[in-house]
Structure 1
């Protein structure tokens, strides 16, 4: 046994130093002290000497910089430059476009939770709150979804006028340019509230405030462009759209076939230098009503009128609607959600160079401009839309499930309904926290490239699940369209958010981990930049620091992964209260797992990793769920750690943790280099997979929370339009829940007495009269039950129509055409 002790001492020192991330000299000193202790305590001298020799062989080359750089760093740098995957200019631009916030800590294996928890609580200013409670609330009251979706296929004129007059298109345009100057958080709140009542209205307002002419002008526009266009965009004199997507390139701006040739041409009666555009775009939101079109195209200068370069690159221009040669096509019809959307074409469309966004200085900079601004749409518009719809769906269906009865029991009491109800509550809580966290990052001045893709993908995916569960629970109430239907159009529209701003398949499999592995990793970008430096001395020095920092980081994450897996994450420092501390410890474990797995994947697969999309998607899932849980824990803290929210938090955390372990285990089982997977499995899962999906008991608590008035339910519903107006059937159902809960004891008393009586009355009103006469209930209680009956009827009633009402405007033309054809055949 004394022979083994010195080697165990080395392992102990290595484990402690790696876990705590002590520097190399600390490890060497600790190891030396332990070996001296072994010798003094009578360990085998030969074994102690061999252990000391091994320590010296490792430590001396690493602790002497000159020896380390010559013997280790230089050969590894040569090898690294050979395996480093080549980055195109477009890939490099995409990687460098965003900033890194707390998500970088999740890639570290040892998150600094103080950075997250010290971020200020996201709050609106008094002016912003007044706008949310005033014009935004009033706009919601104006919404008549049946009129918008079915009758007009458009917003009514008075709503367009209200939106423009109250500067809904200028939420984020600075006040100095005529806008409202609101924060990104306020943008999120407005879109969330509008989306809770109408996806058409929310998209109409959301698009001009995300990727579009205004956003691009604020970042890159010349002062003349800003002063001319921003006030007109803010008050609606100009309605903007941005034309990026085309038939042959989708949203991939690097491959667009649309082009512009630099040439002389006529503009407003004068000969000027400009661009002659040829374009073919589709899926362009607001195109049918837009007056100012932003266009992405590839710019060429074959006659070298601007310089020596012929292919200038992707550029962005502003084209007025009335420009000769520009053709705004007929409307697209996106899944019965008739927001304004359509194609744009143009041939020989001439605009001067002054119409380039940013002017001539930004010619060829379009890809970078798009990458830096695309995150706004992904960070705010789409996640906020999912948040509004999901929160509204959860509280409305929670009310419906309590009010609607089958077999004398509220349908929400059936376990088969409790399961989707719980899923709705947990997802709505997660979506709300995630969308707000990402909007808050933008409001702090960050450009959250990775969180924006996480937020876009997971909010819209969970939102689609919530929409499905809504339909599943309310059944016929959801499938019969009409003014009383609060869910059918939302279900039809749910795939729209999945496809826009980059299809979710691409977002998950290419973007989340693809960007995250380089942008968020504490060492990879540093190594890449060091390897590309020109000065040999500086290159070696920089690469040496990054390389050995990376090696120590990788060893630490392996040790931490194994330790946390072996102990079930029960030990280690973590913030939070007694309830949430366990969740922070779990995140410490999975952060180390992700960091380790990512390092091994990049080392073993190199440039091939970007083609392993399934692996990239699964590792992206791990990063995403870590970010989602972090967002929820931050929200829980910001709201004062309310005990009544704990079922929602617990359900959502357990769901995310189960998804993390599923992603990790699936990635390991399918890792292309099998021996590597065999080594990683016992490090990441030393006791096997332990995480489970949320239990039925927990699901019961969440479902009950949605069906019972409480402060937790109110917090979940905060920020959505639940005002019980004649045009808001969902809001009415939400308002009925307190009355229904108060009336339940009276209803049970009456039903029990009725069941045990010999009263022959069959009509409900007559039964109430008999109940009062028999003394079962009072006159007041009878009135309460009668009101309850009316509220229930309004909750469950669906619409019906004459056949002619459902026929399209083209039906009469069809009948007339068929009649003429029949008459010709007879003749």
Structure 2
């Protein structure tokens, strides 16, 4: 067992690998991708070749078998560098979809999908949200009806706000398999390939931030899936979802911490360079105090999120603690992005300045993965009871 100092040293070196990759493959192209509204799919293979996908998946399934901190550091670093469209979609692929398959899949499913996810050959998505069911997953209407003679299922319905919605090669689809009971007792997860007949990728949705992240609608019309495509237990998909959500919310909190620190870094640099009243902005007391406040908030959130990561690594993280991390870090990210933009003055409102992107990208963090309001409900139930 390596001690924490050795792991920290390895993570520092690993982050340098991420930075080198970003400099070579992303920095010169990211603004164009944001303008075009899409990241090229070949980037996934490059990420896989560099060993930046599914790193905490066991080696037998194509991963590196690295500790969770290494997987989290990828999201952390891309977020700090301001490449939030990439970090968000990577989180879905490596930290969410891959772990659904690892923790709930059959040996055949794990052996087929996970190595191809680690290499970037296959891109994963998860299709939960529907036009009328966002944070309340019990409101889903997509159905998977079993054919009594063949044992296969026909999926019908629609999904929206699907990350990796244009580039995905397969998606984990949440559907009701027993419409006569509440969704919590009659929901099943299915692995559905993008080439399945009847599955249609809708238009790429236009967003106020994360412009190059491919977020889309999906439509299912009599999509045939076999029993071999069921992920986990029949009618117990809701339980699987609830079990995996703490990981998703903690990773979102990690990304928030990285984004906060990145926003502060570029702001501090700007404050040293920009002058007003004959001196750098960094010399003005009101600005110095604002930076002190935001730095304090970022560091406190980082400490708590790191604590949650350690608990998650040991399977000890509660739903409430993950919700606290997600609520606190993403709300702080919004405040800090806004505060940093303010210190840039009019230039902060210009798209050519990265702080403007940090500001618009931050807004979704308080919504996806469970809104701040849902997080408060979960936390209050834990503290006060139902």
TM-score (norm 2): 0.91
Which of 292, 316, 322 is equivalent to 2:189? 316
1:351 to 1:385, Cα distance in 2 relative to 1, 3 A = same
CA gap of 1:396–1:126, structure 2 versus 1, over 3 A, is closer
Aligned pair 1:209/2:94, yes or no? Answer: yes
- Going from structure 1 to structure 2, the CA distance change for 1:312 and 1:324 (only over 3 Å counts) comes to farther
Residue matched to 1:486: 354
CA distance in structure 2 between the partners assigned to 1:379 and 1:325 by the alignment: 35
Question: Are the structure 2 counterparts of residues 441 and 312 from structure 1 closer, same or farther at C-alpha, using a change threshold of 3 Å?
Answer: closer
* Residue number in structure 2 paired with 1:23: none
1:510-555 deviations in Å (ceiling 9; x for gaps)? 111213445xxxxxxxxxxxxxxxxxxxxxxxxxxxxxxxxxxxxx
Provide the residue aligned with 1:497 in structure 2. 365
User: 2: CA distance between counterparts of 1:163 and 1:500?
Assistant: 24
- Residue number in structure 2 paired with 1:352: 226
Superposed CA offset, 1:145-188 (max 9, x none): 312212x3222455333113224331222111111222221122
Alignment of 1:321-720 (within 5 A): 321-338=194-211, 339-358=213-232, 362-380=233-251, 382-482=252-352, 485-508=353-376, 510-517=377-384, 610=386
Kindly report which structure 2 residues correspond to 1:137-152, keeping only aligned pairs within 5 A, or say none: 137-141=19-23, 142-144=25-27, 145-150=30-35, 152=36
Distance in structure 1 (CA, Å) of the matches to 2:229 and 2:110: 12
Q: CA deviation at 1:387?
A: 1.0
Query: Does structure 2 retain, via aligned residues, the 8 Å contact 1:124–1:186?
Result: no
Q: Would you say the 8 A contact 2:79–2:262 is kept in 1?
A: no
Give the structure 1 partner of residue 74 of structure 2.
190
Q: What does the per-residue CA deviation read over 1:733-754, in whole Å, with 9 as the maximum and x for residues that have no partner? A: xxxxxxxxxxxxxxxxxxxxxx
Deviation at 1:447, TM superposition (A): 3.5
Structure 2 CA distance for aligned equivalents of residues 133 and 402 of structure 1:
25
Measured after TM superposition, the shift of residue 419 of structure 1 is 3.3
Please state whether the residue corresponding to 1:273 is helix, strand or coil: coil
Q: Does 1:155 align with 2:47?
A: no
**Partner SS, residue 96 of structure 2:** coil
CA distance in 2, matches of 1:493, 1:433: 23
Distance 1:220-1:161 versus aligned 2 partners, 3 A rule: closer
User: Please, which moves more after superposition, 248-257 or 215-224?
Assistant: 248-257
1:493 CA drift (Å): 1.3
Give the match for residue 297 of structure 1.
Answer: 175
Q: How far, CA to CA, are the matches of 2:179 and 2:106 in structure 1?
A: 22
Distance 1:163 1:516, change over 3 A: farther
* Structure with a larger share of its residues in helix: 1
Matched, 1:258 2:142: yes
Once the two structures are superposed, residues 352-394 of structure 1 have per-residue CA deviations (whole angstroms, 9 ceiling, x without a partner) of 1110003xxx0011111011101111012x1111111111222
1:211 counterpart SS class = helix
Question: Contact between 1:244 and 1:251, CA under 8 Å: does it hold in 2?
Answer: no
CA gap 1:357/1:497 in 2 versus in 1, 3 angstroms: same
- For 2:6 and 2:250, the matched residues in 1 are separated by 17
- Gaps of at least 5 residues in structure 2 are none
- What secondary structure sits across from 1:373 in the alignment? helix
Please state whether the residue corresponding to 2:205 is helix, strand or coil: coil
User: Could you tell me how far apart the structure 2 residues matched to 1:251 and 1:318 are?
Assistant: 21
RMSD (Å) for aligned C-alpha atoms: 2.1
**Structure whose residues are more often strand by fraction:** 2
C-alpha contact 2:44 2:123 (8 A) present in aligned 1: no
How much has 1:128 moved relative to structure 2?
Answer: 5.0
1-side partners of 2:296 and 2:148: how far apart?
A: 60
SS of the residue corresponding to residue 20 of structure 2 reads helix
- State the match for 1:280 in structure 2: 158
What 5-or-longer segments of structure 1 have no aligned partner?
A: 1-119, 266-271, 303-310, 519-609, 611-827
Of the two, which has the highest radius of gyration? Answer: 1
**Deviation per CA, 1:759-782, whole angstroms, max 9, x where unpaired?**
xxxxxxxxxxxxxxxxxxxxxxxx
Superposed, which structure 2 residues align to 1:221-240 within 5 Å?
Answer: 221-240=105-124
Cα distance per residue 1:230-260 (max 9 Å; x no partner): 1112112211000000011113222211111
CA distance in 1 between counterparts of 2:173 and 2:291 reads 44
Distance in 1 (alpha carbons) for counterparts of 2:160 and 2:49: 29
Task: Give the alignment of 1:788-827 within 5 angstroms.
Answer: none
- What is the aligned residue count? 376
TM-score (norm 1): 0.44
CA distance in 2, matches of 1:157, 1:278: 28
User: Do the aligned partners of residues 122 and 248 (structure 1) sit closer, same or farther apart at CA in structure 2, a change above 3 Å counting?
Assistant: farther
Flag the 1:293–1:166 CA change in 2: closer, same or farther, 3 A: same
Do the aligned partners of 1:261 and 1:301 also contact (CA within 8 Å) in 2? no
